[in-house]
Copies of this chain bind each other. A is one copy, B any other.
Amino acid sequence: MDKLTLVKVGGKIVEEEQSLKQLLADFNSISGNKVLVHGGGRSATAIAKQLNIETKMVDGRRITDKPMLDVVTMVYAGLVNKNIVAGLQSLGCNAVGFCGADMDIIRSVKRPVKEIDYGFVGDVVDVNTDELRLLLDQGVTPVIAPLTHNGKGMLLNTNADTIASELAIGLSEHFNVNLVYCFEKDGVLSNPDDDSSIIHELDMQLYRQYKEDGTIAAGMIPKLDNAFRALGNGVKSVVITNANNLTKSSVKRTVVRF
């Protein structure tokens, strides 16, 4: 099977023109099949504010009412996605932008209301990579915005880390998939106050231990759960690192092992 690199980048990097430009140049230099999954969090918050739509967060997760769903659809699938596509095209990378509704790539269900009503937020139930594979075979590079659909006409806001791991799992039927989560640190840290305290290798046993003793907490837990889920379902490797390290043969990164 051919190699495929799936890179997930978060909000901050894609929001600023200079860091986005660098990211696209680095991403473009990755050889072989590649896919980019992007977030876009803060620009949605800023535009919602301008439209007098209140941003409500619970435990770092956005509550998506209908006006906010329209905002994230505009910002993620429109503004952010199409500017990334145009930027990659300018570098000679034949990019194409999708959300999960396009070609039925990612189907989800609206998250059931328990203690919290997250609103129009989707939990992934099905991934279809048939047409993606066809396009990748033609040298096309998909760029995925973090929205899915329920098959009944409803778009749903969906966590970009989850989209990255689910898509990596789906694509691993056809490719040897390397999943790279980019974020603002060089890797998973054993001491959040010390940027050099990178955990260079993290396996399931160590992860359990670090969760128990509180070394790994909060926002890193869903990211790592996604990473281990990917590894358990056919994805060859998962790396967590800074976007700046994307093309460097750097030791500054966390390799997640099953």
Contacts and interface: CB of A to CB of B under 8 A. Distances in A.
B101 A89 contact: yes
A76 B73 contact: no
Chain multiplicity (copies): 2
Interface in A49-107: 50-52, 70, 73-79, 81-83, 85-87, 89-90, 94-99, 101-104
Instruction: Please classify how large the interface on chain A is, using the bins under 10, 10 to 19, 20 to 34, 35 or more.
Output: 35 or more
A82 B140 contact: no
Interface centre among A95, A134, A149, A153 (most CB of B within 10 A): A153
Contact of A102 (B97, B130, B138, B155): B97
Contacts of A97: 77, 98-99, 101-102
Contact of A103 (B52, B78, B83, B140): B140
Nearest to A75: B74
Contacts of A86: 101, 149, 153-155
Contacts of A50: 50-52
A14 interface: no
B85 A101 contact: yes
Contact of A131 (B76, B78, B103, B140): B140
Contact of A138 (B81, B95, B99, B134): B134
Given A87-B153, A90-B151, 18 more contacts: A47-B51, A51-B51, A73-B79, A74-B74, A74-B75, A75-B78, A76-B78, A77-B77, A77-B97, A86-B153, A89-B101, A90-B153, A95-B101, A96-B98, A96-B103, A97-B98, A97-B99, A134-B134
